[in-house]
Copies of this chain bind each other. A is one copy, B any other.
């Protein structure tokens, strides 16, 4: 990671970046399955075989894009986390969820790459697990902060079944020893459920079902916040949501 590089090394990182950029562009316009190495090379004015100097295979290019996507959506969530420091926990929860959702609707194909069907025979390598966890960890941080401030209530729902408790206890010991085990379990469920709503929106399942997707998402995120034990903020936010910046009627599928 030296700042000073030889011309060669410099060129390499630049070309690598250009390849990823062009690949991302094609990803957005064609979708992952139609991403073509040759087309990327063509667009970059190089021959297809030259691309293999930078990525040993198409799957490796995918891996790079996947990591970037995880990092991007994770960064969005973390930024919302940081920006909302000091706010009511439920509102922070909604802000973090909303940041992830907004990134997803802005980058549907990259989102599909990471939260959609796993690519063919391709097993996600180990490098992806840390970036993949960033959004989840941001949610954990919201709840952890609430706990630290003494405003974390008990999660809703019936008592945990044995195996679920065991899983949650293991998780808790790894990433948030201070949080109650049932809270962790509720957190994991909420995490998956948030992405369920995002996926339905991005993948078109809400077409002709839900139009006001931004407000709908916020509504659901608020319910999930309550589910994990974050009390709703005092004031009734019931209506309005003005300046929401949401294009409700827009068709999603390209």
Nearest chain-B residue to A248 (Cβ)?
Answer: B163
A166 is an interface residue with CB less than 8 A from chain B: yes
- Considering the chains assembled together, what is the distance between the CA atoms of A158 and B226 in angstroms? 10
Nearest chain-B residue to A112 (Cβ)?
Answer: B117
Q: Beta-carbon contacts of A220-244 to B below 8 Å, as 1s and 0s?
A: 1011001100001000111111000
**What residues of B have a CB within 8 angstroms of the CB of A200 in the complex?**
192, 195-196
**What residues of B have a CB within 8 angstroms of the CB of A22 in the complex?**
none
Q: Which residues of A, 192-212, contact B by the 8 Å Cβ criterion? A: 192-197, 199-200, 203-206, 208-212
A180 is an interface residue with CB less than 8 A from chain B: no
A127 is an interface residue with CB less than 8 A from chain B: no
Q: What's the tally of chain A residues with a CB closer than 8 Å to chain B?
A: 70
Q: Is B211 in contact with A167, judged by CB distance below 8 angstroms?
A: yes
A185 is an interface residue with CB less than 8 A from chain B: yes
A6 is an interface residue with CB less than 8 A from chain B: no
- Considering the chains assembled together, what is the distance between the CA atoms of A226 and B224 in angstroms? 12
Q: Is A158 in contact with B236, judged by CB distance below 8 angstroms?
A: yes
Q: Which residues of A, 9-23, contact B by the 8 Å Cβ criterion? A: none
| Smallest beta-carbon distance A157→chain B, Å | 4
Query: Can you list 23 A-B contacts with CB-CB less than 8 angstroms, sorted by A residue number?
Result: A31-B117, A31-B121, A32-B120, A112-B116, A112-B118, A157-B226, A158-B223, A158-B236, A160-B219, A161-B212, A161-B237, A163-B248, A164-B212, A167-B209, A167-B216, A171-B209, A188-B209, A189-B220, A192-B199, A193-B196, A193-B220, A195-B200, A196-B200
